[in-house]
Structure 1
Amino acid sequence: MKKNFLIRSSAAILFSITLIISFAFVPPKPDEGMFPLSDIRKLNLNEKGLKISIDELYNPNGVSIVDALVKIGGCSGSFVSDEGLIITNHHCVFGAVQKVSTLENNYLENGFVTNSREEEIPAEGLTVRITTSYEDVSKEVLEAADKVTEISERSKAIADKIKEIVKREEEKDSTIKAEVSEMFVGEQYVLFRYKIINDIRLVYVPPRTIGEFGGESDNWIWPRHTGDFSFVRAYVAPDGSPAKYSIDNVPFKPKKFLEVNPKGIDEEDFVFILGYPGRTFKNMPARFVEYHYKYQLPYVQSFFSWLINLYTKRGENDPEFALNISSTIKSLANTEKNYRGKLQGIRNLDLINKKVQEEKHLQNFIQNDPQLKSRYGNLLNEIDELYYDAFKSGRTMFVLNFLRNFVSSYRLADLFVDYKTEMMKDEKDRKTNYKVENREKLINEIDNIYKNSKPDLEPQILKKLFSDASSFDEMKDSEPFASFRLAENKDGYIKNLLEKTIVSDKDKFLEKLFDHELTLEQVNDELIIRAKQLTELRANEQKKQQARDSRSNILLAKFNEVKRLWLNKNFIPDANSTLRLTFGYVRGYSPKDATYYSPISSLKGMIEKSFEGGDYRIYEKVKELYDKKDFGSFVHPKMKEVPVAFIYNTDTSGGNSGSPIMDAYGKLVGVNFDRCFEATINDYAWSESYSRSIGVDIRFVLWVVQKIGKADFLLKEMNVNL
């Protein structure tokens, strides 16, 4: 990978303790953080336990382990053969498997294994991206921002410049996808170039009772006994270029693939993870966390919990609906429980108050230096005011987004308003999807909205969202929520919106939509009128948000500047879906008083849980093999059992799902898939005492592949010698 820049950050203060206990070495705690590639050489990983050279791990001028990493959908993954074979999580391909499953061929329930390359199934919707290069473009971005005279326009200037850079790079090389990622708000922007592979096919997916064993009961929980892994294969055109699915495509040849260590790991072993963690907020001020705690986390958690119950009940006597909605429920449930964990973590850590106290110490540091006082004296007050303004908007954008996402009728009405508004502009100025050349795509989008609508459930969802909004101080006086709040018959109000609208008839909707003589003002349709009111509300909120973003771009840059001076160190940029490294040790923990969890679970625990039924339904072949003690070559030498999962004190987040867990020699020993419930707070703060990530042990993966899937061809392809 070509190295084009040096990210201006370094590792957190290194802290290690060497204890001599019976002449044994006890590994130190790891550094907190998800380190960008440019920081890897600063970490002294060989002193922490890495047994290979840094060049073998990351070599900007050659081939290294980093080149085996991929981003697959919203997850991570890694190449494990020279034939484009990728290992990732079962839950990362769950949606693709659900799409190709039917009640007759239920691959989600029964699993899927190929007998030949020709039988591999296209994974609809999945793409793979590989980081090929990166460079710092901060100077170019910030120069554009500094040219604007109005602060409120700063965020737009940055966004416009980023679009310009992306367009320039993609025109320069049509084979790549370009993205500019913000590393530090208002300070650092990095251009990443990605190779995109569009033809991804399912190779091996374990049965759901293995890949999702424990279901929501065990989600975010330790001990865990879930075989959360799957294999897919990446294909390209015969000339090696990215291509859509074709029978003529050939397996992709990666620069590097990971070697599997079938002997796995043991307690206190050094491990490291490479992957694409999502968004974290460790560098954000107290009021930012307070906004999440008061508004975002509780409302999203509450609404998703309500929605999960609605969908689940609807599917109880309708297997087809249950199958089709399964991926949606899984995604909602994952977020709902994650947010519950975050709320608990913020409370338990007293995180907001701790950050407030930290900022008081920072303010004292500023006040005691005349030069700092002149530049930063009022900074923290301005940051507080910025977020107090965000508190006034509260949950507004969440309600508006949920209306679009979960109520098809409203989404169509909103599209109608948007389209008619755009039609008032010249063709060249319209949104891309509303241009004449893209009409067919727009019609297909509308067809899909109608196809995926849930007319028997959406009146309840619409009523729920209107009820929520009309009870929130920040929205109750805005239309249409004000009129809904005052309506005596609220069911009748919703019924009137949904039944007396052109949206209920697709042909009539399309006819009116493309009638360019018909203006928005001429449409006498209650749902569309209400959608227009909410469009105006959204526009006002977006304008406020743009002003806040522009202001925060300056304030948070100063906040980071003065914190570096105060702490006398640099710190790691928050995760932002770019490639990161984290490292640690296989280690148990004590989540609460008088409780200790050891770090490795076994097949025995899976069998014990299976007697509870429900989410602990077990695949019968697993039980049969266990009763026979048919463990093959995959027994943990100390436990005398097949290890299933293990925990380690790395710093991971959403997006790290599917990340390879590697041992001290850079060999694959597991696949990361979750965090312990206490570690959901990782997005805001990390701690050695409670931050534990969960991965499926490679020995369980190989045991399932060989004994359950009868897929020895995969072991052979991965060069696993038993």
Structure 2
Amino acid sequence: MKKIILSLIVSIMLVPTSVKADEGMWFLMFIERLNHRDMQKMGLQLTAEEIYSINHHSLKDAIVQFNGGCTAEVISKDGLVLTNHHCGYDAIAELSTAEKNLLKDGFWAENRKAEIKPSSLFVRFFVRMDDCSKRILAKVNPSMTELEREAAINKEIALIEKENNEGGKYTVSVRPFFQGNEYYYFVYQDYKDVRLVGTPPESLGKFGGDTDNWEWPRHTADFSMFRIYGDANGNPADYAENNVPLQPKHYLPVNLGGVKENDFAMILGYPGRTNRWMPAGGIEQNVKFAYPAWVEGSKTGMDNMKKYMDQSDALNLVYASKYAGVANYWKNRQGMIDALTKFGTAKSKAAQEAKFNKWANLPANKAKYGNVVSTINNFYALTNEKSRHDNYITQLFRTNAFATVGGTLGKQLDTYVKADVVKRAELAPKISGMAEEMFKELHLPAEKDIMAAQLKLYATKSTGYAIAPMVEKIGKENNNDFTKYVNDTFDASIFTSKEKIKAFLELPTAEALANDPLYTLSNDMMTHFRSKSDVIAKAQNDYGASFRLLVEGLRESKIGAIKYPDANSTLRLTYGKVRSLPADKRNDAKVNNYTTLDGQVKKYKKGDQEFDLPTRVLEMNKNKDFGRFADKDGSLHVNFLTDNDITGGNSGSPVLNGKGELIGLAFDGNIEAMAGDVIFDSKLQRTINVDIRYVLWVIENFSGAKHIVDEMTLVK
């Protein structure tokens, strides 16, 4: 491992040994000093070097970030990659048609030639990381505004990234930690030729649907499989038929032994975002203003998608991916509201901040920290209503394809109008391609209903902060019924068909674009969304500096109990154990830390969109046809629980035993601990995982794709 500079060694040694083992998302480069002894006591049999090494192959070399938002792992010498079904959902939906619906029916490539390349999919390997805090922080000073500070930091970041990318071979990312008090750079290598190998049918991969999402007990085959390809030398390459499967530096062996209560469990992955350092005012703002608007806006969009999705398989495919993404966070945010309210998280944070404020106003600390808490609280008081407003309009942007057209296709058309003949010839194919992609994923009647419903919600519910001027005017003129306006607007707009866009490209005029009703409405809403008063702008600037000081002061005063940085889509390790929840009559398992195929069949509802099952599963369960993947108790285990500390982005992460062997696949958390992104609850927090034996059973026994299992290294 690289030598760690003295200041880091000192800060690491200050971490108390009482840190709870199952809490925290830890940097791999610090495992030896911070966590290795605790992990060994719990069952780890690997050295720190076997987990993270920059000179030799290690566990890190088998873990990839999947398409920028999930995690996956390499599980064969030929670049076979395992991730969640919901992580591969976009790619599977894209490759599906009404005639050949891979999403609905499942798919397993019979050989390498049959593996299918989605249009855009990549995996990112982590190469190394290092500290650059001193270098970056030397470029800033307390007298800078936040914008000046950001500019200075970004200038230095650009230099660091250029110095370490080896002429474009690597992607380098410099990320802030502890609210900008520390900085590290990460070196990655991206592979863009990633092909679908297989997926279970949606009835298994998404069994339980929205009803079971974030719930336990679960019975879901939430997995899909892909393969990484490179050129003949193993380097990243654009898709080509003669590319070959990647020979990875390391891949994970698969353990068939199963798990039991208190077994060691380790997860490596790319958690997206936690807010464990969030002030009390931020939690209160989310619970009372932001999240309720998010939930209501999401539900409005979902309801209007669903009525069209139910009309046909073709329309279901159009909206399946978008609906799944919106639904996931809809339930998450409601769970956050409930959990944060139930546990009084804002109140406990406020008590911590009151304690900090006393320390901050001691004579020795007052000049630096004295105004921190009051400045933070002032910002939240000023922005509570704006946060409600922003979440209503964000869900409009998120659920409707035309709400942001001014900043996407409209921006391209604006450039096209102003360009000369040569430039227009260059731009036209790009714009046509954008239009083709856009209209693959929308149905005009649905988009009209979504926009009309979302505009009404936004205009009538965002009452404490001024709404976009055009929306306000239209609402007043139509008694907040936007149906006729939206219908007329769609009829008049050049953006609502590929043919209209093509016609505009052939005869473009600035006047036609400027007067287009969808274009002007979209620009009006986006401009309003981005705007803020001078008062709020100043408060935001002061808040940024104060939040950074709060985190610095909490660490310095040792008032804060958190010793690790928030998640921010960088590779982390979390460790804990297999751990049950209290007995639950809904679960037929002997111990409430796993579920069985028999339990899944008991949930079966013929023809139900969420709980239907293939007839073959019912027959195989009846005959106890579990093959070599049955547990020693004779049942087939489906999902199991651990107490690892994960969040969104960890989806698809490998669950490993003490030897670094794959035992499961993380895919969800329990709704009782939904406050976990803000505060870790050691009693309630659970990670829900797919048992790797169930994964293999679905591939080999149910699907008949034994050739896929045969390329893995199985450990009995």
Would you say same fold, with TM above 0.5?
A: yes
Compared with structure 1, are the counterparts of its residues 418 and 550 closer, same or farther at alpha carbon in structure 2 (3 Å cutoff)? farther
For the pair 1:382 / 2:375, whether they are aligned, the reply is yes
Compared with structure 1, are the counterparts of its residues 504 and 610 closer, same or farther at alpha carbon in structure 2 (3 Å cutoff)? closer
For the pair 1:465 / 2:454, whether they are aligned, the reply is yes
CA contact (8 A) 2:375 2:543 kept: no
CA contact (8 A) 1:272 1:662 kept: yes
The code of the aligned residue for 2:31 comes to I
The separation in 2 between residues aligned to 1:267 and 1:564, in whole angstroms, is 35
Q: How does 1:138-217 map to 2 (within 5 A)?
A: 138-146=133-141, 149-159=144-154, 161-163=156-158, 165-166=160-161, 169-170=164-165, 172-217=166-211
The separation in 2 between residues aligned to 1:290 and 1:570, in whole angstroms, is 20
| Matched position secondary structure for 2:381 | helix
Q: CA deviation at 1:685?
A: 1.1
Q: TM-score, normalised by structure 1?
A: 0.89
Compared with structure 1, are the counterparts of its residues 528 and 201 closer, same or farther at alpha carbon in structure 2 (3 Å cutoff)? closer
Compared with structure 1, are the counterparts of its residues 250 and 594 closer, same or farther at alpha carbon in structure 2 (3 Å cutoff)? closer
CA contact (8 A) 2:219 2:595 kept: yes
Compared with structure 1, are the counterparts of its residues 105 and 593 closer, same or farther at alpha carbon in structure 2 (3 Å cutoff)? closer
Aligned residue for 1:664? 658
CA contact (8 A) 1:291 1:391 kept: yes
Aligned residue for 1:20? none
CA offset digits 1:167-213 (Å, max 9, x no partner): 5644x432222222222222122221111011111222122222222
Q: CA deviation at 1:419?
A: 5.2
Aligned residue for 1:487? 477
The separation in 2 between residues aligned to 1:102 and 1:422, in whole angstroms, is 34
CA contact (8 A) 1:175 1:241 kept: no
CA offset digits 1:470-529 (Å, max 9, x no partner): 221244454013213312353333334333334346555566679787369x93344433
Compared with structure 1, are the counterparts of its residues 506 and 718 closer, same or farther at alpha carbon in structure 2 (3 Å cutoff)? closer
Aligned residue for 2:433? 444
Aligned residue for 2:281? 287
Structure 1 spans left out of the alignment, 5+ residues? 17-28, 428-433
Aligned residue for 1:648? 642
Aligned residue for 1:628? 623
Which has the higher mean CA deviation after the structures are superposed, 528-537 or 275-284? 528-537
Aligned residue for 1:531? 522
The code of the aligned residue for 2:119 comes to E
CA contact (8 A) 1:409 1:498 kept: no
Q: Equivalent of 2:310, from 316, 334, 342? A: 316
CA offset digits 1:683-704 (Å, max 9, x no partner): 1111121100000111212222
Aligned residue for 1:270? 264
CA contact (8 A) 1:403 1:465 kept: yes
Aligned residue for 1:605? 599
Q: TM-score, normalised by structure 2?
A: 0.90
Q: CA deviation at 1:129?
A: 0.3
CA contact (8 A) 2:23 2:680 kept: yes
CA contact (8 A) 2:606 2:613 kept: no
Aligned residue for 1:340? 334
For the pair 1:253 / 2:243, whether they are aligned, the reply is no
CA offset digits 1:44-103 (Å, max 9, x no partner): 221232122222222343221121111112111111111101111111112211111223
CA contact (8 A) 1:590 1:689 kept: no
Q: CA deviation at 1:13?
A: 4.5
Aligned residue for 2:233? 239
The code of the aligned residue for 1:540 comes to S
Q: Equivalent of 1:587, from 579, 585, 592? A: 579
Q: Equivalent of 2:492, from 486, 500, 503? A: 500
Aligned residue for 2:28? 37
Compared with structure 1, are the counterparts of its residues 164 and 399 closer, same or farther at alpha carbon in structure 2 (3 Å cutoff)? farther
| Matched position secondary structure for 1:35 | coil
Q: Equivalent of 2:682, from 684, 688, 700? A: 688
CA offset digits 1:220-279 (Å, max 9, x no partner): 111111111222110001122211221100011111111111112111111100000110
Q: CA deviation at 1:468?
A: 2.5
Compared with structure 1, are the counterparts of its residues 340 and 239 closer, same or farther at alpha carbon in structure 2 (3 Å cutoff)? same
The code of the aligned residue for 2:472 comes to A
CA contact (8 A) 1:72 1:129 kept: yes
For the pair 1:702 / 2:702, whether they are aligned, the reply is no
For the pair 1:407 / 2:400, whether they are aligned, the reply is yes
The separation in 2 between residues aligned to 1:10 and 1:685, in whole angstroms, is 24
The code of the aligned residue for 1:587 comes to R
The separation in 2 between residues aligned to 1:365 and 1:131, in whole angstroms, is 40
The separation in 1 between residues aligned to 2:357 and 2:540, in whole angstroms, is 23
The separation in 2 between residues aligned to 1:635 and 1:593, in whole angstroms, is 23
CA offset digits 1:413-449 (Å, max 9, x no partner): 444764577789999xxxxxx9996554344223422
Alignment RMSD: 3.2
CA contact (8 A) 2:287 2:341 kept: no
The code of the aligned residue for 1:34 comes to M
CA contact (8 A) 2:77 2:247 kept: yes
Compared with structure 1, are the counterparts of its residues 147 and 281 closer, same or farther at alpha carbon in structure 2 (3 Å cutoff)? closer
CA contact (8 A) 2:579 2:641 kept: yes
| Matched position secondary structure for 1:386 | helix
- Report how many aligned residue pairs link the two structures: 700
Identity over aligned pairs, percent = 29
The separation in 2 between residues aligned to 1:653 and 1:104, in whole angstroms, is 36
Compared with structure 1, are the counterparts of its residues 451 and 649 closer, same or farther at alpha carbon in structure 2 (3 Å cutoff)? closer
Q: Equivalent of 1:540, from 531, 537, 547? A: 531
CA contact (8 A) 2:297 2:396 kept: no
Which has the higher mean CA deviation after the structures are superposed, 468-477 or 711-720? 468-477
| Matched position secondary structure for 2:365 | helix
Aligned residue for 2:71? 76
CA offset digits 1:631-661 (Å, max 9, x no partner): 2222222x33111110011101001111110
CA offset digits 1:357-405 (Å, max 9, x no partner): 11112112333x3101232111100111122233242234444444444
Aligned residue for 1:105? 100
| Matched position secondary structure for 1:616 | coil
The separation in 2 between residues aligned to 1:601 and 1:668, in whole angstroms, is 18
Structure 2 spans left out of the alignment, 5+ residues? none
For the pair 1:372 / 2:365, whether they are aligned, the reply is yes
Aligned residue for 1:562? 553
The separation in 2 between residues aligned to 1:690 and 1:642, in whole angstroms, is 26
For the pair 1:720 / 2:714, whether they are aligned, the reply is yes
CA offset digits 1:318-340 (Å, max 9, x no partner): 22101232222221211111111
The separation in 2 between residues aligned to 1:295 and 1:618, in whole angstroms, is 40
The code of the aligned residue for 1:459 comes to K
CA contact (8 A) 2:495 2:501 kept: yes
CA contact (8 A) 1:152 1:551 kept: no
